[in-house]
Amino acid sequence: MDSFNDPLKDESIKLKIAIQKSGRLHDDSLRLLKECGIEISNGVNKLKSEASNFPMEVYFLRDDDIPQYVEDAVADIGFVGENIVYEKKKKVEVVEKLGFGKCRLAIAVNRHDEYSDRSFLNGKKIATSYPVLVQQFLDENNINAEIHEISGSVEIAPGIGLAEAICDLVSSGSTLFTNGLKEVETVLQSQAVLIKNYQLGHVQQYLLDKLLFRIRAVKKAKNNKYILLNAPNEKLTEIISLLPGMKSPTVLPLAIEGWSSVHSVLSENEFWEIIEKLKAAGAQGILVVPIEKMII
């Protein structure tokens, strides 16, 4: 086999990935790689590191810079918030949502303002670190407002008389609350995504596909639970009809006459509702177990 057919044999070829050096996405980015079986030593103040068991080189960068590095092919791929991808408008492809770093880019005004609709924002000053996305939102809604770009501590702008509204990232809303603000509009729902350079080489694409296969298996496993329960045989048909399973549930006889053990996989979304129905249908000793990887 030559090195193209099996790039993992050629030690000089690496998939270069950019992740956040420190901040809200750093730990989850490394955790996801680890769950994909990729071990990275993360020395303090290191800018670059290598995986020990996957042909991968990791660059630790400020999140704002990641789209540029990927557009310029300094890194092949990156993990970064959608908010940054769409604000920076770099030419990169969004390949996969990663399920962490969830937040929203929201407009907030003074808690005591009477905000009935978006026209409130006409003629107002909005402080933000996201001028591109805010301008887009204003244009789409025919609002004429002035954008005041600041790089941090946006939430104090109304309190010091710099602006009448702000647009910033929110997850729980507690920062807004402590600054006397209320959330009134959502400009963007965001989470961490995997981005890639548009002109990836064949081998890099091969390695990315390998990584994506693992990421999807990890994500699927997180959204599903393995369930085991005992049921009297006369209730089996009803219980099995409640269980989706990957193909169909596994049914095994118990040592006690007239009883069976049923195994299946349930998705997180429908989980509680189905558990209640199973109990009502006569299921006993229900065990729910996390799944580590799921390949279907």
Judged by CB under 6 A, the residue of 38, 84, 121, 138 near ligand ATP is 84
Q: Are 183 and 173 within 8 A, CB to CB? A: yes
C-alpha 203/C-alpha 126 separation (Å) is 46
Q: How far is the CB of 20 from Mg ion (least distance, A)?
A: 8
C-alpha 64/C-alpha 190 separation (Å) is 15
Q: How far is the CB of 193 from ligand ATP (least distance, A)?
A: 9
Q: Which of 125, 200, 203, 199 is nearest to 158 (CA)?
A: 125
Site size with Mg ion, rule: CB under 5 A: 2
Q: Angle 20-26-27 (CA atoms, 0-180°, nearest 5)?
A: 165
Q: Is the sign of the CA dihedral 236, 238, 243, 246 positive or negative?
A: positive
20-28, 34-42, 45-53, 139-147 -> range binding ligand ATP (CB under 6 A): 20-28
Q: Tokens 């990729």 belong to which residue?
A: 38
47-55, 58-66, 156-164, 259-267 -> range binding ligand ATP (CB under 6 A): 58-66
C-alpha 50/C-alpha 58 separation (Å) is 6
Minimum CB distance to ligand ATP smaller for 173 or for 282: 173
Which positions ≥6 away from 276 have C-beta within 8 Å? none
Q: How far is the CB of 67 from ligand ATP (least distance, A)?
A: 11
Q: How far is the CB of 104 from ligand ATP (least distance, A)?
A: 9
Minimum CB distance to ligand ATP smaller for 53 or for 174: 174
Give Rg (Cα) of the chain: 25
Subset of residues 121 to 140 that bind ligand ATP, contact rule: CB under 6 A: none
- Running DSSP on this structure, what letter comes out for residue 124? -
Q: Is the sign of the CA dihedral 25, 222, 83, 164 positive or negative?
A: negative
Task: Mark 174-213 with x for binding to ligand ATP (rule: CB under 6 A) and - for no binding.
Answer: ----------------x-----------------------
Q: Is 26 exposed, middle or buried (0-12, 13-18, 19+ CB in 10 A)?
A: middle
Q: How far is the CB of 175 from ligand ATP (least distance, A)?
A: 8
Q: Which does 171 bind (CB under 5 to 8 A by kind): ligand ATP, Mg ion, none?
A: ligand ATP
- Does 76 help bind Mg ion (rule: CB under 5 A)? no
Q: How far is the CB of 256 from ligand ATP (least distance, A)?
A: 51
Residue 84 backbone phi and psi in degrees, to 5: -75, -45
Minimum CB distance to Mg ion smaller for 63 or for 71: 63
Tokens encoding 200: 């990836």
Residue 160 backbone phi and psi in degrees, to 5: -105, 10
Minimum CB distance to ligand ATP smaller for 9 or for 62: 62
Judged by CB under 6 A, the residue of 3, 9, 23, 267 near ligand ATP is 23
Q: Which residues bind Mg ion (CB under 5 A)?
A: 63-64
State the residues that interact with ligand ATP by CB under 6 A.
20, 23-25, 62-64, 81, 83-84, 101, 103, 169-171, 190
